[in-house]
Structure 1
Amino acid sequence: MTLRVLHLSAGNLYGGIERLLTTLALERACCEQMEPSFGLCFDGKVAAELRSEGVPVHLLGDVRFSRPWTMWRARRGLRNLLRRERYDVAICHACWPHALFGSVIRDVGVPLVFWAHDIPRMVHWSERKAAKVHPDLVLANSKYTAERLPTLFPAVKTEVCYAPVSLGSAHLSPTIREDVRRELETDSADVAIVMFARMEEWKGHDLLLAALRKLNDLPGWTCWIAGGAQRPSEHQYLDRLRNLASESPVSGRIRFLGQRSDIPRLLAAADIHCQPNMGPEPFGLAFIEALAAGLPLVTTEIGAAAEIVTPACGRLVPPADPSALARALRELVTGVKSDSQLSDACRNRAAELCAPASQILQLMRLFRGLAGSRATSGGQ
């Protein structure tokens, strides 16, 4: 019997949650017994990507909590959708959609799952609202996240499920490498260090720039920084980074690429991935995507990075330490091309943690258990 699952998210930004949603659509053939659909409030990039994959996308209307009528409209739309389509499980990805839709899902009687993609700190209004509606199951994107979830839902069963990540897209034609390097004015012999992340200060862009200054004496490397600003604060942060880079002695070796839709191409043309977080990463899809492309990781030893990075596939350094970061980068820049086993170790680590077949089957087993409990208790 097909298990019908509805994923609910905001849809107005694009980051790790949105990449997960598109992966669930792209890799749905891994478990044909589970049929994913998606409910979004905003019609943006993720909605377009999901439609291109041929999965059902239901737009519930732009929502602002400061405008109660937009919430009422979206909740009414979801209620009608749940009654019409009779989903077996509904999943709220993060606190904002859970605060908005959790009570509706509860009222209709569909099993409710909260997928935690961040660490709850109980300081934002969406966290406090979300905490009022207890789900039937909590999914945590890492052990690090799971250990901190009792502050949000203290008595709810929690399962750790690493996000599925498409592993095949990074294996592109060898000519892609040269094409991308010509496009980015990067010598074919250079070691390319890439960082692709939201323009948020805690991601550590400025720490990376500080470490790169210390590699001024080291020839043969270029750094690509990919990612666009989506909020006013991110635009200000990006301007500051550009100014820092322009004043650096290695400014000629740093490329700001802006928002990119071709991350697999960039990874196929790069050699090292570096994202030196200043705050804890709840998981880090970018880490897995880089590993899947055969790129060793350099990041800080905080958050879930310790669950991902091993000495075989990267380096962990202390946070806020540009000298330690520079030493790790120097080691890899000088040795990455001579280590024939490094790329294979990176790809193997990505598959071990996040192969779509195993992760989506884990989801199916968990959701099947919830749907079975619902049927036993009488359903809606």
Structure 2
Amino acid sequence: MTRPLSILHVITDLEFGGAETMLAALVSRPDPRVRHQVVSLLPAGAVRARIEAAGIPVSDLGMSRGVPSPLAIARLASLIRRSTPDVIQGWMYHADLLASLALVLSGRRQRTRQFWGIRCSDMDPSRYGRVFRWVLALSARFSACPDGVIANSQAGLDSHLALGYRPRRQAVVWNGIDTGRFRPDPQARAEVRAEWGVAESERVIAHVARVDPMKDHALFLAAVDRLTSGRVVLVGKGTEDLPRHPRVLALGVRSDVPRLLAAADVIASSSAFGEGFPNVLAEGMACGCVPVSTDVGDAAALIGPCGLAVPRRDELALAQALQTVLDWDAETFARHRAACRQRAESQFTMAATLDGFLQAYGK
């Protein structure tokens, strides 16, 4: 019997986020072809418990955000020597760079293959600090060092090539989602709507994103001001601190997102830049929510015929798209909800995502 491929995943942190959630879903799915291990640069956050519950070893290097640590790099090099992985898969810029350095220090560069991960597109470095800009420049400069680069969107790969990335090998592997966790759930829908005080006849728009310049909450809330119907639920770190709005319920960070999405009718994304494969759109679609999104990253390709994509930073276009969906009759809405679930089950499976990674690794 063929020995499972040993994959060491290195990620910046394990707080709630698209990349972190995707990693947890990937490694938690049993598959005899692979054996996973996860390392977080920063003290591991809320997603760690989910990964460990699946029996996957998780370590953290104890770094502090924004503070380079030679000791942490030495710890990672030691871990690589002990665990002898076949592949190191990086997730995001800092983890990519530090894993490359640690692999060289471990003495296993000729025996362990390394792949970097691209999880975003069209980043706007001017909106972030000097350290981020420095890390991005270094990543482009040394992008030929790993054996390959795996992007979760075509838009992400294209934008990084434009930034100067010159990988030896490149692949695009769309994210998968757990369609068993993210699914229509009539019981959860009724319970959550009762908690919110929302009638079944009212249509609810969910917007799930941390407050960050990339996510453009200001544009979204301006679009909501133009709506003549519907209720809105904001989920994500910092949303509870946004200005109050009579039609909006802001919940902050939540660990029960599948349950909340089951209670919604529309999943919205208002990002201005930076998205690669917007997980939340796929997760919402799996729950039967109709997607309405700005056309950032691979959002339009992901949505397909199931929803609407509009130009980024266009408040009026976003408002009109949301209102169009809210005004659909019951039959049209039901047809689109069913199509969303079907597309999620056929296009965004974890099995297809793992197959894509293994193909990129040459397996």
Question: Could you state the TM-score of these two structures normalised by the residue count of structure 1?
Answer: 0.85
Is 1:343 aligned to 2:353, yes or no? no
Give the residue type in structure 2 aligned to 1:104: A
Instruction: After TM superposition, list the pairs within 5 Å mapping 1:46-195 onto structure 2.
Output: 46-63=47-64, 66=67, 71-106=69-104, 107-109=107-109, 110-119=112-121, 124-130=133-139, 131-132=141-142, 134-150=145-161, 151-171=163-183, 173-195=185-207
Give the direction of change, closer, same or farther, for the CA distance of 1:319–1:121 in structure 2 (3 Å limit): closer
2:183·2:288 contact (CA, 8 Å) conserved in 1?
no
Tell me, what secondary structure is at the counterpart of 1:242? coil
Is 1:271 aligned to 2:280, yes or no? no
Give the residue type in structure 2 aligned to 1:263: V
The partner residue of 1:308 within 302, 306, 315 is 302
Provide the residue aligned with 1:222 in structure 2.
Answer: 231
CA distance in 1 between counterparts of 2:65 and 2:205 reads 39
> Which deviates more, 33-42 or 118-127?
118-127
Kindly state the Cα deviation for residue 14 of structure 1 after the two structures are TM-superposed.
Answer: 2.5
Runs of at least 5 residues in structure 1 that lack an aligned partner in the other structure: 230-234, 246-250, 370-380
CA distance in 1 between counterparts of 2:180 and 2:84 reads 34
2:294·2:309 contact (CA, 8 Å) conserved in 1?
yes
CA distance in 2 between counterparts of 1:336 and 1:46 reads 39
Kindly state the Cα deviation for residue 336 of structure 1 after the two structures are TM-superposed.
Answer: 5.8
Is 1:23 aligned to 2:35, yes or no? no
Tell me, what secondary structure is at the counterpart of 1:335? coil
CA distance in 1 between counterparts of 2:14 and 2:357 reads 25
Instruction: After TM superposition, list the pairs within 5 Å mapping 1:38-53 onto structure 2.
Output: 38-41=38-41, 42-53=43-54
Give the direction of change, closer, same or farther, for the CA distance of 1:307–1:5 in structure 2 (3 Å limit): same
Give the residue type in structure 1 aligned to 2:117: W
Aligned length: 345
Quick check: which has more Rg, 1 or 2? 1
Give the direction of change, closer, same or farther, for the CA distance of 1:200–1:57 in structure 2 (3 Å limit): same
Question: Could you state the TM-score of these two structures normalised by the residue count of structure 2?
Answer: 0.88
Give the residue type in structure 1 aligned to 2:293: T
Kindly state the Cα deviation for residue 332 of structure 1 after the two structures are TM-superposed.
Answer: 1.1
Provide the residue aligned with 1:378 in structure 2.
Answer: none
1:141·1:160 contact (CA, 8 Å) conserved in 2?
yes
Kindly state the Cα deviation for residue 65 of structure 1 after the two structures are TM-superposed.
Answer: 5.5
CA distance in 2 between counterparts of 1:269 and 1:153 reads 42
| Moved segments of 4+, more than 3 Å | 63-67, 119-123
Kindly state the Cα deviation for residue 155 of structure 1 after the two structures are TM-superposed.
Answer: 4.1
CA distance in 2 between counterparts of 1:242 and 1:303 reads 28
Give the residue type in structure 2 aligned to 1:298: V
CA distance in 2 between counterparts of 1:121 and 1:58 reads 31
Give the residue type in structure 2 aligned to 1:116: I
